[in-house]
Chain A
Amino acid sequence: MATQHSRAAARFMISPAVILLLGWMLIPLIMTLWFSFQRYNLLMPGQGGFVGWENYYFFFTDPAFVSAIVNTLMLVLGVLIITVVGGILLAILLDQPMWGQGIVRILVIAPFFVMPTVSALVWKNMFFNPVNGLFAHLFKAIGLQPFDFLAQAPLASIICIVAWGWLPFATLILLTAMQSLDSEQLEAAEMDGASALAKFFYIVLPHLSRAITVVILIQTIFLLSVFAEILVTTSGGPGDASTNLTYLIYKQSLLQYDVGLGSAGGVIAIILANIVAIFLMRMIGKNLDI
Chain B
Amino acid sequence: MARAVTNQRKSINTLIAWAIGFLIFFPILWTILTSFKTEAEAIASPPSFLFFHWNLDAYHEVQERSNYFLHFWNSVVISLGSTLVGLAIAIPAAWSMAFVPAKRTKDVLMWMLSTKMLPPVGVLIPIYLIFRDTGLLDTRIGLVIVMTLINLPIIIWMLFTYFREIPGEILEAARMDGATLRDEIIHVLTPMAVPGIASTLLLNVILSWNEAFWTLNLTAAKAAPLTAFIASYSSPEGLFYAKLSAASTMAIAPILILGWFSQKQLVRGLTFGAVK
Contact = CB atoms under 8 A, between A and B. Distances in A.
Interface string B223-248: 00011101101100011010011001
Which of B16, B113, B124, B125 has most A Cβ within 10 Å? Answer: B125
Given A14-B108, A218-B271, A228 B123 contact: no
Nearest to A165: B210
A225 B123 contact: no
A113 B113 contact: no
Contact of A284 (B124, B209, B274): B274
Contacts of A134: 30, 47
A31 B126 contact: yes
Nearest to A24: B149
Interface string B2-15: 00001001100110
Given A225-B119, A273-B119, A281 B89 contact: no
A104 B21 contact: yes
Nearest to B128: A254
A13 B275 CA distance: 28
B149 A290 contact: no
Given A20-B152, A32-B126, A97-B13, A108 B20 contact: yes
Interface string A83-99: 00000001001101111
Contact of A172 (B101, B152, B267): B267
A156 interface: no
B100 A122 contact: no
Interface residues of B, number: 98
Interface string A43-72: 000000000000000000000000000000
Interface in A266-280: 266-267, 269-270, 272-274, 276-277, 280
B92 A126 contact: no
A32 B125 contact: yes
Contacts of A114: 28, 210, 252, 255-256
Contacts of A123: 27
B10 A99 contact: yes
Contacts of B231: 117, 121, 228, 231-232
A232 B28 CA distance: 18
Contacts of B121: 225, 227, 245-246, 249-250, 265-266, 269
Residue with the highest number of chain A CB atoms closer than 10 Å, among B10, B96, B121: B121
Nearest to A259: B125
A115 B217 contact: no
Interface stretch (A73-81, A173-181, A187-195): A173-181
Interface stretch (B51-59, B60-68, B184-192, B258-266): B258-266
Contact of A115 (B34, B101, B168, B210): B210
Contacts of B179: none
Contact of A127 (B27, B92, B120, B256): B27
Contact of A113 (B97, B252, B275): B252
Contacts of A1: 168
B227 A21 contact: no
Interface string B160-177: 000000001000000000
B78 interface: no
Interface residues of A, number: 108
Contacts of A196: none
Nearest to B262: A113
B272 interface: yes
B139 interface: no
Contacts of B259: 109-110, 112-113
B238 A270 contact: no
Contacts of A176: 267, 275-276
Contacts of B120: 225, 227, 246
Contact of A254 (B92, B217, B241, B248): B217
Contacts of A287: 273-274
A108 B156 contact: no
Nearest to A214: B274
B230 A210 contact: no
Given A14-B108, A98-B10, A227-B212, A6 B100 contact: yes
B228 A117 contact: yes
17 contacts: A7-B102, A11-B96, A14-B93, A24-B115, A25-B115, A28-B130, A107-B21, A111-B28, A116-B227, A122-B31, A129-B239, A132-B43, A134-B47, A224-B119, A273-B117, A277-B114, A287-B273
Shortest Cβ-Cβ A-B pairs, 4 listed: A28-B123, A10-B96, A277-B117, A31-B126
Interface of B: 6, 9-10, 13-14, 16-18, 20-22, 24-25, 27-28, 30-31, 34, 43, 45-47, 89-90, 92-93, 95-97, 99-102, 105-106, 108-110, 112-115, 117-130, 149, 152-153, 156, 168, 206, 209-210, 212-213, 216-217, 226-228, 230-231, 233-234, 238-239, 241, 244-245, 248, 251-252, 255-256, 258-260, 263, 266-267, 270-276
Given A273-B118, A284-B273, 10 more contacts: A31-B125, A93-B13, A93-B17, A111-B24, A118-B31, A121-B230, A121-B233, A124-B238, A232-B231, A249-B121
